[in-house]
């Protein structure tokens, strides 16, 4: 038996330095907690083992919300990006989103610098093999070498490392992502502590040598030349904006895959873990969408100073020889050299329904978990959970009230509520369709929604908060001005603008705000007519959004107010649902498992019906009349 020794005392220990761990450690340290970040490999901090891209619909929303609260992923992406685009420009404002391609090595270097220079934060290389608990509370962690670090809280962010298993065709071996070592002993310890584990699977695509690609046969996909940034607080639009490239699979590609499905681990039974439906492997796509003649394949750079390119759209665990044939069948890749084959990785993760909305475990006080270990996929989802786990661990240590974002406040709130309330049966991916108030939760207004919260908890500094206040003032003044300013049909410039936009002429008088509400009239049109002041682009865009979608926004706010009645009816964790008459057996099981904190959350639990909510309402009213405190508010 190894000899243990006391290696240090901290307020918080964060296990794992991926995207969740980095956010958690930085947040807690900034909030004044003495924090230790432990990683199995100091050279793999903030590694991007899959596509080095950040953002996209819903995921980009998460990144901007993290930035608004004072997190780091958005700023670090801006500082290391080599392409940025705004997606869904032609669609409604709720689904428009930024997506950037990062230089993955630069991203890692910048994040490492942030961590190592952060006050109150220590970073060490060590493998944690055991969580130490006493009386249902975390007291510390122990490493493989016997080092014991005592602490008041732990944030577990082990990603896909727990009993990780790499699979390429018939070859399978223990391993973490991108050639790293797996974490085996910690899984057994978590089981000993009574945590429920799931087995999930994800995967990645082959990487290709740029010098072996026939670029003339590919379609260039340039970035946007506008001033775009994930971060609200810093302009990095001067960064390079290199193109990605598009090609397609074809019938030959599909035939190669179909002819080798018997060697595909996904179909041969070699893969046991559940994969995500929203990012399927190419072999899965060929089977599920057998009628499609081709699928898009994007060639995306991994950095400015590497010859490796990521092949988005060809995620696979097929044998290596089949991968070579498959790649060579694609236009422009006929002679491409694979530098790293694609692979699948199976790993253990936690059933997130064991967690509170703070991301703290319900039975083990002081144990918080975040990222892919909670059954999610993606850097963005991991970073969002890491930030919230770090914040709430710090607030717990300081004996302060936790921070819980509602579904009407942030995509982060939607993400965590979905995980805790509904659980997962496959790796969770954030989608705009998951947010019922997505017009309120636009990417562009994340700072207006969450900046004040970031300032109050100590993550957003004074300078940035004053910057936010100035922006809010300009927006308010701009909206009021447009509503109060009227123009008449005698205004020649206005009539000219309406004619150019294809709108009917103005009759009588109208406010400038009402002109802007017309479908084809944009802010810049009225600016050209001299009706509007020249604001900064982000402020002008926000003014236009508020006015143009005023009616829709009002409807969503009314929905939020209606739902608030249920959200405000708090439920105690000590309620014995089995003693409540009228609840179905199924709903009782689900309510006992989740222990919802409100009637609103209870309604979102799968298997709990509106009829069950009515039963709970009657029960709470009876207890209120009896003077029994069965609800926490």
Confidence tier at 229 by pLDDT (50, 70, 90):
very high
Domain containing 447 — which CATH number? 3.50.50.60
Across 585-599, average pLDDT: 91
User: Strand pairing partners for 511?
Assistant: 486
239 plus 94 within the same structural domain: no
Nearest to 358 by CA among 325, 333, 393: 393
Residue 222 covered by a domain: yes
CA-to-CA distance for 196 and 465, rounded, in angstroms? 41
CA-to-CA distance for 509 and 516, rounded, in angstroms? 14
Is residue 109 over pLDDT 70?
A: yes
pLDDT of residue 278: 73
Domain containing 611 — which CATH number? 1.10.150.570
Tokens representing 217 are 């046969």
CA-to-CA distance for 598 and 596, rounded, in angstroms? 6
Distance of CA 480 to the CA centre of its chain: 35
Domain that holds residue 337: 207-345
375 plus 442 within the same structural domain: yes
**Where a domain ends, among 557, 582, 607?**
557
CA-to-CA distance for 134 and 143, rounded, in angstroms? 18
The pLDDT tens digits for 321-352 are 999 999 999 999 999 999 999 999 999 999 99
pLDDT of residue 628: 63
Range list of H helices, 31-100: 59-69, 73-80
515 plus 370 within the same structural domain: no
365 plus 421 within the same structural domain: yes
pTM for this one?
0.95
Is residue 161 over pLDDT 90?
A: yes
pLDDT of residue 633: 43
**Where a domain ends, among 424, 457, 490?**
457
Across 123-141, average pLDDT: 97
Domain containing 519 — which CATH number? 1.10.10.1800
Confidence tier at 620 by pLDDT (50, 70, 90):
confident
Confidence tier at 629 by pLDDT (50, 70, 90):
low
Q: How many CB atoms lie within 10 A of CB 631?
A: 18
Residue 462 covered by a domain: no
CA-to-CA distance for 428 and 446, rounded, in angstroms? 22
Residue 471 covered by a domain: no
Across 517-522, average pLDDT: 92
φ, ψ of residue 613 to 5 degrees: the values are: -65, -40
137 plus 169 within the same structural domain: yes
Buried b (16+ CB within 10 A) or exposed e, 57-93: bbbbbbbbbbbbbbbbbbbbbbbbbbbbbbbbeeeeb
CA-to-CA distance for 481 and 478, rounded, in angstroms? 5
20 plus 158 within the same structural domain: yes
Number of domains in the chain: 4
């Amino acid at each position: 038996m190894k000899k243990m020794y006391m290696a240090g005392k901290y307020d918080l220990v964060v296990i794992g330095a991926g995207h969740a761990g980095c956010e958690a450690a930085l947040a807690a340290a900034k909030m004044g907690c003495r924090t230790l970040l432990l990683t199995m490999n100091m050279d793999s901090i903030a590694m991007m083992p899959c596509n080095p891209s950040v953002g996209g619909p819903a995921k980009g929303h998460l990144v901007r919300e993290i930035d608004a609260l004072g997190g780091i992923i958005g700023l670090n992406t801006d500082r290391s990006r080599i392409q940025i685009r705004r997606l869904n420009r032609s669609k409604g404002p709720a689904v428009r989103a930024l997506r950037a391609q990062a230089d993955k090595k630069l991203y890692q270097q910048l994040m490492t610098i942030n961590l190592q220079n952060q006050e109150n934060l220590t970073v060490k290389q060590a493998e944690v093999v055991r969580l130490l608990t006493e009386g249902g509370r975390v007291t510390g962690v122990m490493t493989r070498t016997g080092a014991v670090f005592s602490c008041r809280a732990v944030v577990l962010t082990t990603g896909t490392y727990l009993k990780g298993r790499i699979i390429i065709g018939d070859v399978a071996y223990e391993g973490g992502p991108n050639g790293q070592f797996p974490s085996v002993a910690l899984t057994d310890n978590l089981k000993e502590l009574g945590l429920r584990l799931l087995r999930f699977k994800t995967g990645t695509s082959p990487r290709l040598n740029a010098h072996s690609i026939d670029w003339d046969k590919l379609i260039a996909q340039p970035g946007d030349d506008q001033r775009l940034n994930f971060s609200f607080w810093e302009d990095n639009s001067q960064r390079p904006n290199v193109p990605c490239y598009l090609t397609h699979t074809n019938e030959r590609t599909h035939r190669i895959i179909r002819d080798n499905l018997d060697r595909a681990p996904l179909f041969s039974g070699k893969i046991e873990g559940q994969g995500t439906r929203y990012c399927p492997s190419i072999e899965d796509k060929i089977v599920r969408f057998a009628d499609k003649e081709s699928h898009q394949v994007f060639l995306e750079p991994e950095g400015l100073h590497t010859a490796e390119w990521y092949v988005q759209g060809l995620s696979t665990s097929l044998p290596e020889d089949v991968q070579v044939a498959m790649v060579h069948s694609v236009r422009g890749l006929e002679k491409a050299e694979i530098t790293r084959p694609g692979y699948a990785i199976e790993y253990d993760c936690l059933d997130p329904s064991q967690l509170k909305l703070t991301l703290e475990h319900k039975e083990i006080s002081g144990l918080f978990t975040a990222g892919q270990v909670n059954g999610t996929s993606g850097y963005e989802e991991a970073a969002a959970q890491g930030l919230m786990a770090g914040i709430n661990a710090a607030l717990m240590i300081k004996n302060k009230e936790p921070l819980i974002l509602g579904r009407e406040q942030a995509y982060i709130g939607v993400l965590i509520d979905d995980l805790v309330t509904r659980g997962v049966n496959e790796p969770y991916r954030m989608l705009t369709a998951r947010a019922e108030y997505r017009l309120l939760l636009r990417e562009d207004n994340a700072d207006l929604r969450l900046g004040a919260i970031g300032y109050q908890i100590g993550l957003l500094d004074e300078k940035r908060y004053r910057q936010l206040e100035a922006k809010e003032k300009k927006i308010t003044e701009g909206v009021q001005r447009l509503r109060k300013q009227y123009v008449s049909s005698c205004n020649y410039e206005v009539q000219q603008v309406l004619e150019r936009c294809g709108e009917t002429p103005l009759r009588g008088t109208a406010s400038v705000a009402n002109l802007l509400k017309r479908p084809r009239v944009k802010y810049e049109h009225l600016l050209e007519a001299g009706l509007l002041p020249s604001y900064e682009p982000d402020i002008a865009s926000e003014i236009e959004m508020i006015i143009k979608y005023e009616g829709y926004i009002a409807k969503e706010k009314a929905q939020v107010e209606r739902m608030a009645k249920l959200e405000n009816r708090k439920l105690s964790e000590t309620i014995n649902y089995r003693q409540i008459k009228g609840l179905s057996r199924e709903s009782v099981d689900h309510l006992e498992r989740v222990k919802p904190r409100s009637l609103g959350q209870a309604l979102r639990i799968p298997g709990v019906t509106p009829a069950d909510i009515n039963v709970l309402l009657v029960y709470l009213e009876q207890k209120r009349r009896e003077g029994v405190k069965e609800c926490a508010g």
